[in-house]
Amino acid sequence: MSGRDEVLARVRAALRTAERSASEHELEPPPAYAPRVRPATDPHELADRFAERVADYRATVVRTDEAGVAEAVSAALADLEPATVAAPAGLPDAWRPAGARDGGALDHAELQTIGAIVTACRTGIAETGTIVLDHGPDQGPRRLTLVPDRHVCVVRAEQIVDDVDDGFVALRPETGEGAAHAPPLTFVSGPSATSDIELQRVEGVHGPRTLVVVLVQPGAPPG
Amino acid sequence: MSARWPETPVDFPKAAHETLKDSQLRSNLGHATTAIRAKREDVVSEVDDWESLRDEGAAARDRSLRRLDEMLVRLEESVTAAGGHVHWAADKESAQRLVVDLVKATGSDEVIKVKSLLTDELELNPALQDAGIHAQETDLAELIVQLGGDRQSHILVPAIHRNRREIRDIFRRELPGAEDVSDDPAALAEAARRHLREQFLRVPVAISGANAAVAETGTVAVVESEGNGRMCLTMPKTLITVMGIEKVLERWEDLGTIMRLLPRSSTGERMNPYTSLWTGVTPDDGPEEFHLVLVDAGRTNALADPVGRDTLRCIRCSACLNVCPVYERTGGQAYESIYPGPIGAILTPQLQGLDTAPTLPWASSLCGACYEVCPVKIDIPKILVHLRGRVTAETNASGKGHHAGAERLAMRSVARVMDSRRAYEAAQKAGRLGLSLMNNGRGARGALPGLSGWTGSRDLPDPERSFRDWWREREAGELEQGPDAPALPQAAQDPAARSGAAMPGTPGPEDALPTDVPRLHGEDRA
Ligand code: SF4
């Protein structure tokens, strides 16, 4: 018998056995999924909460309007040589730091020489201060936001949702015949961290040690 | 190479006798559980729908478990459609064989690994070693355990039994290039970063566990903190993910529910630093080849038991460990299994067979704190009582004296821990709320099946009641802190440390164990 047949046969036998020996209440079907119903959220409150919670992880948050993005990005990179900064090909030109290398073209060894990466994101989650990357053209493949030690991520206020379940609703991949391939997703909440040694927090083990979030909101003070 | 767990555990009283002698272990563990408990309380109290979220978490897990065969077939279809390969292993040996063959097919004689309870359970590292393949653990705590030739003591913080000086000595001895490292945790983490970075960029094969997989989309999830998970899931050419069959979820949104519950319950964070979701293979991004190995290894033993099967809801958050007075006193290694604490006491005997771990269901005082914190509402005390009944009815009686030993030890541990623990809110609250042993985990009451003939014995309500009475008397009488009451660890006192700090390695992708022990529902087994 193949491993597949054996496992499935065991599962089916177990389900039958449980059914036979269960009492009535143990057989009650679990309730069906129902999305949480909540009052509408105020976009300003979402942006404020998002900024506060990202900062709680000891990430840097810079709030600005569209016109201030370039300046905020270059301030976050001020101490680096331009040639050690990379950006994905699809990053909006206005956000691209001068002289940044094309991140998608870098192999593993070249990536090691990159000090910072500038990207957009797919979604922000206010409740948990999380940015979600779907590694589209304005974010680049996963390795790009992993190997360099600093990640500067530009988030538009209108991308922010309230909580994790709202994020999942927004991120639902297509299913069924002819569905597009579901992209990989990376949920990032602050810089990488460990507390494995005596529970003392150390920021930055393998992922970027510095996370800078540039939050773009119409009417926000530039810079 | 991590030390192996004993072939057949588990004599809890005997093993605990050894670990109880280790006061370093006890103080580290006390510090850790106190700090994590405080952080969990803080972030859970932020969520106003926490109780209904727990209900939904339990329901999401049950919806899949009740139709597990369909879910697995659907998962296989979705993963395959997305360019992945699915393999099935009925037991530990076939899982080992499958993974060894998959690695061999790549031509590599080394792999990098993300912390995974399941691969530990399957003793994959020794199996790979025997096949001439070196498996490098990349989670900081797992690295410490591996370099120290040691065993894990906590699901979440496996090296919590080691202090910084011990870790420094292990690194100086075992880690190339770390001969002069100091005992500063940042310096130790930096040494690990340097050592592992080269391997992440070079080794072509990674092995991971999984926290969950979604049947309808074929998406697999790994939850972590350090970024070693992202490295393993992204950089190598081939990724082999080993997952227990019970981890599958039906819908995409179910994963959203689990991701609201898990980080807060586990590390006491609103969200862990990194969660990776991937579906099959993606061109020019991450591994070119993806294998998903689905493992039974005893899970169907639990699935066949209408009471015990709730154990399979477990999302390995470790909240139940951190509130358990018995665990706090004896330490994880006393359970002699990869799953310690309350969850281990119900999971290990079901996975391995009641014959091989007959004392574990007694390694508890039934105080109920574990059920109160469980994000998927597993009624651990109810299952413990149920398993005690099954051990008595189904296994041969040898070793029964040990049950009493395990229970005595559990009760004594509680007394000691309660004496010395100032902030025992969790168990206290559980006691006041009046935990129901007859609760089915979603609030309904019902009779326990299969217990007739022994529920009248002293096993069921009495120990719990007398414990509560004892506690109430203490509360009424001697509640005032004595002058010599031990101070709370820094982390629990300092509000900044409570809210800001991230906790360790986060839920390790998961679980599993040897199958094929006694056939408790033998006639139905194909
Ligand atoms: S049984 Fe324990 S580890 Fe499992 S989900 Fe419940 S609290 Fe978490």
Q: What is the DSSP string of B371-384?
A: HHH-TT---HHHHH
Q: Given an 8 Å threshold on Cβ–Cβ distance, is A197 in contact with B309?
A: no
Of A191, A217, A222, the C-alpha closest to A205 is A191
Q: Is the pLDDT of residue B291 over 50?
A: yes
Q: What does the pLDDT read at residue B499?
A: 35
Domain that holds residue B89: 50-297
Phi, psi for B84 (deg, rounded to 5): -95, 170
d(CA A118, CA A129): 19
Q: Do A128 and B252 touch (CB under 8 A)?
A: no
CB pairs under 8 A, 24+ apart, for A156-159? Answer: A156/A216, A156/A217, A157/A43, A157/A46, A157/A47, A157/A215, A157/A216, A157/A217, A157/A218, A158/A43, A159/A121, A159/A122, A159/A123, A159/A124
Q: In one letter, which amino acid is B265?
A: S
B109 and B123: one domain? yes
**Mean predicted confidence (pLDDT) in B82-86:** 97
Sign of CA dihedral B75, B77, B81, B86: positive
Which stretches of B245-324 are DSSP H helices?
252-266, 299-303, 319-323
B320 close to ligand 1 (CB < 6 Angstrom): yes
Q: Please give the pLDDT value at position B463.
A: 32
- B477 min Cα distance to partner chain A (Å): 35
Whole-number pLDDT of residue B416: 58
Instruction: State the alpha helices, DSSP H only, in B235-340.
Output: 252-266, 299-303, 319-323, 325-330
Inter-chain touch B271–A141, beta carbons under 8 Å: no
Whether B367 and B257 share a structural domain = no
Residue B518 domain flag: no
| In contact, B187 and B222? CB cutoff 8 Å | no
- Our CA angle for A210, A215, A220, nearest 5°, is 140
At residue B410, the pLDDT reads: 65
ipTM score here?
0.96
Spatial contact of B230 and B274, defined as CB atoms under 8 Å apart = yes
Contacts of A127 (CB under 8 A, 6+ apart): A49, A53, A162, A163, A164, B270
Ligand 1: residue of B223, B246, B265, B312 to mutate (most ligand atoms within 8 A of CB) is B265
Is residue B161 in some structural domain?
yes
Q: Which residues of chain A have pLDDT under 50?
A: 223
Is the distance from CB of A1 to CB of B288 less than 8 angstroms? no
Asked whether residue B289 falls in the same domain as residue B306, the answer is no
B161 and B232 share one domain: yes
| Domain-located, residue B285 | yes
Asked, for residue B112, whether it belongs to a domain, the answer is yes
Whether B286 contacts chain A with CB within 8 A? yes
Q: Could you say which of B268, B297, B326 is where a domain stops?
A: B297
CA B235 vs CA A32, B197, B413: distances in Å: 39, 11, 46
Question: What is the residue with the minimal CA distance to atom 2 of ligand 1?
Answer: B320
Claim to verify: residue B386 and residue B267 sit in the same structural domain: no
CA-CA distance, A186 to B301, in Å (whole number)?
A: 35
CATH code of B180's domain: 3.40.50.10420
| Whether residues B417 and B363 fall in one domain | no
Token readout for B259 is 């991701």
* Lowest mean pLDDT segment, chosen from A154-163, B257-266, B324-333: B324-333
In a domain, B30, yes or no: no
* Cβ(A49)–Cβ(A61) below 8 Å: no
**pTM of the complete model beyond 0.80:** yes
Same structural domain for residues B193 and B263? yes
The position carrying tokens 């493992």 is B295
Tokens 């590292």 sit on residue: B125
Q: In CATH, what number does A43-216 get?
A: 3.40.50.10420
- What gap in Å lies between CA A138 and CA A121, rounded to an integer? 7
* Residue B467 predicted with pLDDT over 70: no
Same-domain check for residues B445 and B418: yes
Are residues B88 and B199 located together in one domain of the fold? yes
H or E stretch at A130: strand A130-133
Decide whether any atom of ligand 1 lies within 6 Å of the B343 Cβ.
yes
Nearest of B317, B204, B228, B318 to residue B276 by alpha carbon? B228
Q: What's the CA gap between A32 and A29, in Å, rounded?
A: 9
Residue of A nearest to B46 (CA): A127
User: Which of B320, B323, B346 has most ligand 1 atoms within 8 Å of CB, for mutation?
Assistant: B320
More confident call, B12 vs B234: B234
Please give the Cα distance from B224 to B188 (Å, whole number).
19
- H or E element in which residue B215 lies: none
SS3 B357: coil
Select from B69, B157, B197 the Cβ nearest to the Cβ of A12.
B69
Q: Is B319 in the pocket of ligand 1 (CB under 6 A)?
A: yes
The reply to whether B118 touches chain A by the CB within 8 Å rule is: no
B124 interfacial to chain A (CB closer than 8 Å): no
Interface probe for A, chosen from B33, B86, B277 (most Cβ of A below 10 Å), is B277
My answer on whether B277 and B218 are in the same domain is yes
Of ligand 1's listed atoms, the one at least distance from the Cα of B311 is: 1
Q: What residues form DSSP beta bridges with A201? A: none
What whole-number distance in Å separates Cα of residue B250 and Cα of residue B494? 41
Instruction: Look at residues A91, A94, A83 and name the one whose alpha carbon lies nearest to residue A153.
Output: A91
Cα of B341 to ligand 1 centre, how many Å?
10
Contact A168 B68 (CB under 8 A): no
Q: How many domains does chain B have?
A: 3
Indicate the residue of A15, A128, A143 with minimum beta-carbon distance to B235. A143
Q: For ligand 1, atom 5, which residue shows the shortest CA distance?
A: B314
In one letter, which amino acid is B350?
Answer: Q
A:B CB pairs within 8 Å:
310
Which residue type, as a one-letter code, is found at position B5? Answer: W
- The pLDDT of residue B21 is 54
**In this model, does residue B420 exceed pLDDT 60?**
no
Give the model's pLDDT for residue B62: 98
Verify that B100 and B131 share a domain, yes or no: yes
